[in-house]
């Protein structure tokens, strides 16, 4: 059953008076309540289909408990979860929400994410083509997005506010070759294969969320994605090219005159209306300064006239840069902005990078932003280390 921003959603909120009061009074800015949007790569991917769900059932997964405590400590209202294996019934997302987030972890206040969205992703969906040139058609690299089974490394969006499901747009099937000026890996894909490939390694979602009282009709679009890492390829840099173009999708989507090529999975074309407020969320697998990414699309996104980069920061990032040393000492970017703790061994790992983003529209007012990366003397550092990524959040309010 779909949950729309209709009488049922209003009834659900109306029956939750304490929650409404909490959401309406926390983080006031200029007399208006703010909403905390976050993104978090959980690293809750498992090697076999159904493996994650079996682990989560019953609420006994130690990694999931630690990750849930991080989310509870961050007190988020809307969160994109990357690398949460998808299943057709959406059970993994439901169980994580109901048996971990809605239950107090480490003495923290539970969070009831009454509204959830998950949808199919391209990881593990076989393309029918030999994409890696090994003579086989059924390997994980022959899928539209790298994966051993459909839904590995999936996504889910959880919200305290109603999700307008009948207005959601997904772009799972959009062809890579449809993008004008796409970075086609030189000399790698034959024409017949190139015309068959999909752009999204997982998917791109535009999920409208009804924020605030219904009579105000205020909707914020959560723009969600998890582009492929720009690694695990050869000199053709096929993953680097794809990462670039998966990010460039959002640049075009936010620029109406450039979005004519964009067609969603229902057949509707075009991008996001120019006046529509949004928060762009996800593990984009690209640092604006360091690492091996093709960063031109990311820089275009960060400087887009509709986007405000609130530059969420932590104190743990620069501390770990100095403690871990290695590849980090070659970095030029501000370590306060780092969101991922990758291998620091020179020549083998990229070091710590800024790859996770919560980017609000300039049409919104930013009340705060941060990265959950505690310092070494804080006991919560061990919680953060449940994933190699850190939770990133931004508080936004209506202007």
**Average pLDDT estimate for 84-112:** 97
Cα–Cα nearest to 372, from 349, 395, 340, 344: 340
Q: In DSSP terms, which residues pair with 221 in a beta bridge?
A: 208, 278
Confidence at residue 215, expressed as pLDDT on a 0 to 100 scale: 59
Q: Nearest 10 degrees: CA dihedral of 140, 146, 151, 155?
A: 160
So what's the pLDDT on residue 95? 98
The CATH number fitting domain 7-398, selected from 3.60.10.10, 3.40.50.1970, 1.20.1440.230, 3.40.50.880 = 3.60.10.10
Amino acid 11: pLDDT: 39
> Taking residues 190-199, what's their average pLDDT?
96
Query: What confidence score (pLDDT) does residue 214 get?
Result: 65
The domain locations on the chain are 7-398
- Average pLDDT value for residue range 319-332: 96
- DSSP structure string for 109-151: PP----EEE----SBT-B-SS-TTSSS-SSSGGGBSBS-SSTT
Torsion of CA 243, 360, 376, 74, to 10 degrees: -120
pLDDT at 217: 74
With a cut of 60, say whether residue 12 has pLDDT above it.
no
Is residue 27 classed as helix, strand or coil in its secondary structure? Answer: coil
Q: Which residue has the tokens 């030189």?
A: 186
Taking residues 14-31, report their average pLDDT: 44
What number of H helices and E strands is found in the chain?
10, 11
For range 358-384, the mean pLDDT? 97
pLDDT tens string 279-290: 999 999 999 999
pLDDT band at 99 (very low <50, low <70, confident <90, very high): very high
Mean pLDDT (whole number) for 273-296? 97
Give the model's confidence band at 4: pLDDT under 50 very low, under 70 low, under 90 confident, else very high.
Answer: very low
pLDDT at position 226 is: 98
Question: Does position 201 have pLDDT exceeding 60, yes or no?
Answer: yes
Mean pLDDT of the chain: 92
Q: Does position 251 have pLDDT exceeding 90, yes or no? A: yes
Query: pLDDT by residue (tens digit) across 119-174?
Result: 999 999 999 999 988 899 999 999 999 999 999 999 999 999 999 999 999 999 99
pLDDT confidence bin for 27, thresholds 50/70/90:
low
Strands (E), 233-327: 278-283
390 φψ region: left (φ > 0), alpha (ψ -120 to 50), beta (else): beta
Residue 320: pLDDT band by 50, 70, 90 thresholds?
very high
* Res 133: pLDDT: 86
5 pLDDT higher than 90: no
- 30-57 confidence digits (pLDDT tens): 456 899 999 999 999 999 999 999 999 9
């Amino acid at each position: 059953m779909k949950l729309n921003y209709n009488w049922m959603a209003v009834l659900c909120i109306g029956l939750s008076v304490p929650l409404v009061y909490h959401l309406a009074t926390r983080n006031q800015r200029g007399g208006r309540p703010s909403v905390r949007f976050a993104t978090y790569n959980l690293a809750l991917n498992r090697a076999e289909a159904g493996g994650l769900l079996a682990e989560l059932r019953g609420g006994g997964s130690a990694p999931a408990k630690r990750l849930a405590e991080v989310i509870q400590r961050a007190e988020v209202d809307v969160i994109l979860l990357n690398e949460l294996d998808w299943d057709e019934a959406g059970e993994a997302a439901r169980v994580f929400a109901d048996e971990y987030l809605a239950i107090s972890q480490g003495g923290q206040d539970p969070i009831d994410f009454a509204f959830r969205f998950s949808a199919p992703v391209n990881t593990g969906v076989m393309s029918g083509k030999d994409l890696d040139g090994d003579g086989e058609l059924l390997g994980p690299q022959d899928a539209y997005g790298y994966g051993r089974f459909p839904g590995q490394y999936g996504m889910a969006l959880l919200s305290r506010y109603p999700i307008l499901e009948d207005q959601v747009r997904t772009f799972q099937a959009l062809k890579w070759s449809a993008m004008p000026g796409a970075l086609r890996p030189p000399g790698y894909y034959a024409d017949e294969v190139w015309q068959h490939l999909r752009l999204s390694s997982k998917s791109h979602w535009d999920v409208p969320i009804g924020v605030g009282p219904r009579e105000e009709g205020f909707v914020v679009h959560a723009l969600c994605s998890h582009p492929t890492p720009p690694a695990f390829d050869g000199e053709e840099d096929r993953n680097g090219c794809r990462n670039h173009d998966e990010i460039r999708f959002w640049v075009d989507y936010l620029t109406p005159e450039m979005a004519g090529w964009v067609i969603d999975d229902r057949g509707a074309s075009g991008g996001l209306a120019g006046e529509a407020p949004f928060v762009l969320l996800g593990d984009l697998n690209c640092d604006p300064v360091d690492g091996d990414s093709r960063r031109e699309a990311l820089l275009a996104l960060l400087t887009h006239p509709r986007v405000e980069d609130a530059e969420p920061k932590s104190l743990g990032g620069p501390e770990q840069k100095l403690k871990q040393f290695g590849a980090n000492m070659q970095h030029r970017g501000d370590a306060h902005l780092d969101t991922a703790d990758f291998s620091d061994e020179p020549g083998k790992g990229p070091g710590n990078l800024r790859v996770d983003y919560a980017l609000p529209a300039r049409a919104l007012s930013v009340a705060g932003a941060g990265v959950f990366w505690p310092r070494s003397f804080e006991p919560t550092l061990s919680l953060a280390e449940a994933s190699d990524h850190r939770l990133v959040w931004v508080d936004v309010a209506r202007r």
